[in-house]
Amino acid sequence: MSDKIFYTTFKTTFCNITLVGNHDGLTNLEMSHTDGKRIFEIDSNWIKNDDFFVDIKKQLCEYFAGKRTSFTNIKLNINGTDFQKKVWNTLQKIDYGAVVSYKTIAEMINKPKASRAVGMANSKNKIPIIIPCHRIVGSNGQLTGFAHGLQLKKRLLNLERGKENVI
């Protein structure tokens, strides 16, 4: 097993994407967007390797083009607390185009009073889209909290609902 970390960057119609990972799986999917709050920098020790991410890039491009509703055979190398991992695993069960509340996720993981903790776990998700934290909304149905910006969250949900013009 190698401890080398690879990355690639590419543009989509929604935003610029940076993928980071190693032979254990994808560790980061960063979306550069003017509305976002997350700051992300490429580490000087990482190795640019476009070939390493060919399949993931292809699947993401299909997603952004409105031609893919789920991701297959993408190995994830998730780093977080047990609680965060439980939340992130639950997020992956939310159907394409659906939205659920933070409270619903808390109930699904048998922690009905942990809505805020679910929100914090969402904010720490380093692999959005594939771990679809954008599908979580407030109890009143309002869009809340997305590290990459509410404008992008709205566009992603519109894409999944067939309301986004795709090229």
Query: 6-64 domain in CATH 3.30.160?
Result: yes
Domain edges within the chain: 6-64, 82-160
What pLDDT was estimated at residue 167?
Answer: 42
Cβ distance 40 to 30 under 8 Å? yes
Concatenated DSSP letters of 1-14: -----EEEEEE-SS
Task: For residue 120, give both structure tokens.
Answer: 């914090």
What pLDDT was estimated at residue 1?
Answer: 47
**Mean pLDDT of successive 10-residue stretches along the chain, which has 167 residues:** 86 91 95 67 91 97 93 95 96 94 95 93 94 88 74 89 65
The catalytically annotated residue of 133, 137, 147, 152 is 133
Concatenated DSSP letters of the chain: -----EEEEEE-SS-EEEEEEETTEEEEEEEE-TT--------TTSEE-GGGGHHHHHHHHHHHTT--SS--S--B---S-HHHHHHHHHHTTSPTT--EEHHHHHHHTT-TT-HHHHHHHHHT-SSTTTS-GGGEE-TTS-----TT-HHHHHHHHHHHTT-S---
Cβ distance 45 to 5 under 8 Å? yes
Domains 6-64 and 82-160 share a fold: no
Cβ distance 126 to 91 under 8 Å? no
Our answer to whether residue 133 is catalytic in this structure is yes
What pLDDT was estimated at residue 52?
Answer: 96
Pick the CATH number of 82-160 from 3.40.50.10790, 3.40.718.10, 1.10.10.10, 1.10.1740.10: 1.10.10.10
